[in-house]
């Protein structure tokens, strides 16, 4: 049975206490770690605002604790809403079964995900058990950074959805295009998709690391490259290790650009084509561009 | 990986399997974040291929070139 609770938190500026609504699936559980972490949301959001220079509106983000199975379903629904394609899984029965197994394994290992179409952070109940409050706070920082990216640069995320749609179309159908051209377009949209995801993940990972250090958190969980490299879109493309390499570089590059200043980071989000060039897959990617 | 102990045990186990199959870990791989290291080693074992250290090294070496390119683009 799902219940909704308002988790209160103190405002930084001494204003009246506010609250965030969180949906909890199991009436019998206390969810102590998530409630404690949610009570620290003002600290987490002000960390994101300070590091990005962006105004972040927490009132437009929902929180829900769900089962791993629900998380999987909600994630697929989110991708469907964003891309207009019913499923990102391959069409054949066998490939679909393999894909489902991989997806289930992936979602069991994920603590939380930001779903752009719902503007909500869904938290995996099965992964929540036994996690420390520090780990939950660190994870929330990562996912809220994605929510902040969405609020500040919605078009950048729309561009990613467009590329995921293109990639899926060329990967499965491609209309009456010759096979070679279809493969080329598939590769191109896939490369650009992963370059842009590297920026989103690179920023979320880098800021999470800074927050962990500043707040003295001992988090046993790290989200980021793994979250994406094993994610929905990349699962269909061979070369998982190569993708992980790309995300490692993405994070290192983001840290260097972040050190230059907020203006420099913003320029990346305003010019996705430069992201394709800078965060693409190494020299190979640059040559292709 | 629900707590420190389980995470450490799982990583130790996958490291051991990797070393038995492919030999000692390259320092650049050993220094990865533990969660990332776990997945990289798992994937390498599943694919039956040792981690491609060269491409990780090359990618990290490219960060300076890319930063220089970014500065050029900003001008």
**Averaged over A185-200, what is the pLDDT?**
88
Separation between Cα atoms, residue A122 and residue A74, nearest integer Å:
9
**Stronger pLDDT, A160 or A33, i.e. the higher one:** A160
- Residue A229: list chain B partners with CB under 8 A: 39
Separation between Cα atoms, residue A288 and residue B52, nearest integer Å:
22
Go through B47-74 and write b for each residue having 16 or more CB atoms within 10 A of its CB, e for each that does not: eeebbbeebbeebeebbeebbeebeeee
Structure tokens, A248: 């490692």
Confidence of residue B6 (pLDDT cuts 50, 70, 90): low
**Stronger pLDDT, A154 or A104, i.e. the higher one:** A154
Lowest mean pLDDT among A102-116, A153-167, A244-258, B16-30: A102-116
Report the pLDDT value the prediction gives residue B4, as an integer from 0 to 100. 45
Report the pLDDT value the prediction gives residue A43, as an integer from 0 to 100. 93
Q: How many other CB atoms are found less than 10 A from the CB of residue A229? A: 27
Task: Measure B24 CA to nearest chain A CA, in Å.
Answer: 18
Q: Which of B10, B42, B74, B75 to mutate to test the interface with A (most CBs of A within 10 A)?
A: B74
Contact A245 B67 (CB under 8 A): no
A269: left (phi over 0), alpha (psi -120 to 50) or beta: alpha
Report the pLDDT value the prediction gives residue A152, as an integer from 0 to 100. 97
**φ/ψ (deg, to 5) at A20:** -120, 140
Structure tokens, A68: 């791993």
Task: Measure B5 CA to nearest chain A CA, in Å.
Answer: 10
Give the pTM.
0.81
Separation between Cα atoms, residue A188 and residue A144, nearest integer Å:
29
- As beta bridge partners, residue A85 has none
Q: Which of A218, A222, A238, A253 to mutate to test the interface with B (most CBs of B within 10 A)?
A: A253
Separation between Cα atoms, residue A221 and residue A129, nearest integer Å:
13
B32 CB-near residues (< 8 Å, 6+ apart): A248, B40
Contact A282 B59 (CB under 8 A): yes
Listed by number, the residues of chain B in 2-61 with a beta carbon closer than 8 Å to a beta carbon of chain A are 2-4, 7, 32-36, 39-40, 43-44, 47, 49, 51-52, 55-56, 58-60
Confidence of residue A285 (pLDDT cuts 50, 70, 90): very low
**Averaged over A179-191, what is the pLDDT?**
87
- What percent of chain A is modeled with pLDDT above 70? 72
A37 CB-near residues (< 8 Å, 6+ apart): A133, A136, A137, A140
- Residue A265: list chain B partners with CB under 8 A: none
Q: Is the pLDDT of residue A272 over 90?
A: yes
């Amino acid at each position: 049975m799902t219940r909704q609770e308002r988790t209160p938190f103190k405002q930084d500026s001494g204003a009246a206490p506010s609250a965030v609504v969180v949906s909890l699936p199991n009436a019998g559980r206390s969810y102590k770690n998530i409630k404690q972490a949610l009570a620290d949301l003002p600290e987490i959001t002000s960390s994101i605002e300070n590091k990005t220079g962006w105004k972040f509106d927490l009132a437009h983000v929902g929180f829900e604790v769900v089962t791993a199975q629900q998380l999987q379903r909600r994630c697929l629904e989110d991708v469907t809403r964003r891309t207009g394609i019913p499923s990102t899984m391959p069409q054949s029965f066998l490939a679909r079964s393999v894909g489902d197994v991989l997806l289930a394994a992936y979602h069991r290992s994920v603590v939380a995900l930001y779903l752009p179409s719902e503007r909500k952070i869904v938290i995996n109940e099965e992964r929540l058990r036994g996690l420390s409050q520090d780990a939950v706070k660190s994870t929330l920082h990562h996912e809220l950074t994605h929510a902040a990216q969405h609020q500040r640069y919605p078009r950048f995320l729309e561009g990613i959805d467009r590329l995921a749609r293109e990639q899926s179309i060329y990967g499965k159908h491609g209309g009456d295009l010759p096979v070679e051209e279809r493969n080329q377009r598939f590769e191109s949209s896939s490369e650009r998709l992963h370059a842009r995801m590297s920026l989103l993940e690179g920023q979320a990972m880098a800021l999470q690391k800074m927050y962990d250090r500043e707040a003295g958190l001992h988090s046993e969980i790290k989200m980021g490259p793994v979250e994406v490299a094993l994610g929905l879109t990349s699962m269909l493309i061979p070369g998982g290790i190569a993708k992980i390499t790309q995300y490692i570089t993405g994070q290192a590059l983001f840290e260097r650009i972040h050190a230059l200043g907020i203006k420099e980071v913003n320029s990346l989000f305003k010019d996705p084509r430069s992201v394709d060039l800078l965060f693409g897959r190494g020299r190979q990617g640059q040559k292709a561009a | 990986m629900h707590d420190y102990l389980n995470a450490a045990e799982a990583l130790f186990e996958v490291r051991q399997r990797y070393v038995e199959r492919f030999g000692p870990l390259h320092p650049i791989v050993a220094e990865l974040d533990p969660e990332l290291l776990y997945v990289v080693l798992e994937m390498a074992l599943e694919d039956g291929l040792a981690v491609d250290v060269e491409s990780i090294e090359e990618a990290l070496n490219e960060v300076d070139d890319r930063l220089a390119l970014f500065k050029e683009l900003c001008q």
